[in-house]
Amino acid sequence: MHSRVGRARGALLGLALGDALGMPTQSMSPSDIATHYGEITGLVDAVAAQPIAPGLPAGTITDDTEQALLLARLLIEGDGQVDASAYGRALLVWEAGMISRGSADLLGPSTKLALTRLAAGVPPAETGRDGVTNGAAMRVAPVGIATPPADLDRLADAVAETARVTHNTSLGLGAAVAVAAVVSAGIAGAGLAEALDLGEQGALLGARRGRLVAGAEIGPRIRWARQWVRGIPAAELGGAIGQVIGTSVAAQESVVAAFALAEALGERPLDALLLAANLGGDTDTIAAICGAMLGACHGSAALPTDLTTRVIRVNALALDPLVQGLLALRGPA
């Protein structure tokens, strides 16, 4: 299904599938993944030694998808606008619910610090001044679905409005706009290469909207990584990405790693997501971001139905109303 609806659904479904594939290995090293799982080749239960989600059943999503769907609902309820304070309160309520269920899958470091500041009365424009992780990028897909790519500055502004409260830095916003631009371009019918090109441009615009912080810039890193992976044999790709790009929660590592996977394996979405799950580090977020981008570019029909059906069932996901609401915000094709 390559219709606009199919691509929008693919973005959310790809995000959820990548998230679920990476759930059992998140925060584990490649050697620990090999010890406990051998190799991830599908949806599997998390082992008891999983440091964040021990024992979670196969197909379970994490905070990546849950926060993205929360943002989608807030966008729809606010007719495209999200009040920063209300968004912060919603994230805190979400985390409290996770804690009550005994989950260790909570808010990331940048988001937690920002919301602590927000609760203390710090203005929303200042709360995210240290947000350099991938939290904004992992949950930004709904903004890309709701906002067309023709005016990239408008798209960057829309991302900044929702992300600034937690990730108001050149790295945090650069990464978030990059992902949103790929998703938005995919919904508009762009091919993968064109969409990834727009992601590079979006990263540059996003960086200008946040507080400049030290660190390798997202846009140039994406451009370099896309060129670099083209010369790497498939069997060496995972190790190369883990060792050279990195797979930590830092935006300039995990988000760039997702772009590298999309460049190298983007015509085979499941292969890209499985490799992400085996990388080690922030596997669920890398796979979720990669899944959102590839799902937007290829449509939901490019994702394996047996796996997506299981993810929907395990998590009781109702994606179609969100897809319809976000596309209504986007306007006519």
Determine whether the annotation assigns residue 35 to a binding site.
Answer: no
Q: How confident is the model at residue 289 (pLDDT cuts 50, 70, 90)?
A: very high
pTM, two decimals, is 0.96
Tally of CB atoms within 10 A around 317: 17
Check residue 101 and give its pLDDT.
65
Please state which CATH number belongs to domain 4-82+129-330: 1.10.4080.10
Determine whether the annotation assigns residue 247 to a binding site.
Answer: no
Write out the H or E segment, with its range, that includes residue 73. Answer: helix 63-77
Which of left, alpha, beta for 281 (phi over 0: left; psi -120 to 50: alpha)?
A: left
Check residue 103 and give its pLDDT.
65
What is the C-alpha separation between 10 and 295, in angstroms, rounded? Answer: 4
Return the structure tokens found at 86: 């209300």
What is the C-alpha separation between 46 and 42, in angstroms, rounded? Answer: 12
Query: What's the rounded mean pLDDT across residues 213-242?
Result: 96
Please check the confidence at residue 1 and state whether its pLDDT lies above 60: no
Determine whether the annotation assigns residue 197 to a binding site.
Answer: no
Please check the confidence at residue 263 and state whether its pLDDT lies above 90: yes
What is the tens place of the pLDDT at every residue in 95-111? Answer: 777 777 666 666 778 88
Q: State percent of the chain over pLDDT 70.
A: 98
What is the average pLDDT value for the chain, to the nearest integer? 94
What is the C-alpha separation between 57 and 61, in angstroms, rounded? Answer: 10
What is the tens place of the pLDDT at every residue in 128-145? Answer: 999 999 999 999 999 999
Q: Choose among 205, 141, 128: nearest CA to 179.
A: 141
Q: Choose among 137, 160, 138, 19: nearest CA to 82.
A: 160
Check residue 99 and give its pLDDT.
72
Check residue 94 and give its pLDDT.
78
If 0-12 CB within 10 Å is exposed, 13-18 middle and 19+ buried, where does residue 280 land? buried
Please check the confidence at residue 166 and state whether its pLDDT lies above 80: yes
What is the C-alpha separation between 129 and 126, in angstroms, rounded? Answer: 5
Q: Which of 109-113, 261-265, 267-271 has the lowest mean pLDDT?
A: 109-113
Residue 235 CB contacts under 8 Å (≥ 6 apart), including other chains: none
Alpha carbon separation from 159 to 62, 162, 209 (Å, rounded): 22, 5, 10
What is the C-alpha separation between 53 and 153, in angstroms, rounded? Answer: 38
Determine whether the annotation assigns residue 63 to a binding site.
Answer: yes
The structural domains of the chain, with segments of one domain joined by +, span 4-82+129-330
> Looking at the DSSP assignment, which residues form a beta bridge with residue 211?
169
- For the residues of 227-284, what is the DSSP string, one character each? HHHTTS-GGGHHHHIIIII--SSBHHHHHHHHHHHHHHHTTSHHHHHHHHHHS-BSHH
Helix/strand number for the chain, H first, E second: 18, 0
Residue type, 152: L
Query: What's the rounded mean pLDDT across residues 298-322?
Result: 98
Determine whether the annotation assigns residue 157 to a binding site.
Answer: no
What is the C-alpha separation between 138 and 123, in angstroms, rounded? Answer: 24
Determine whether the annotation assigns residue 169 to a binding site.
Answer: no
Please check the confidence at residue 72 and state whether its pLDDT lies above 50: yes
What is the C-alpha separation between 58 and 45, in angstroms, rounded? Answer: 4
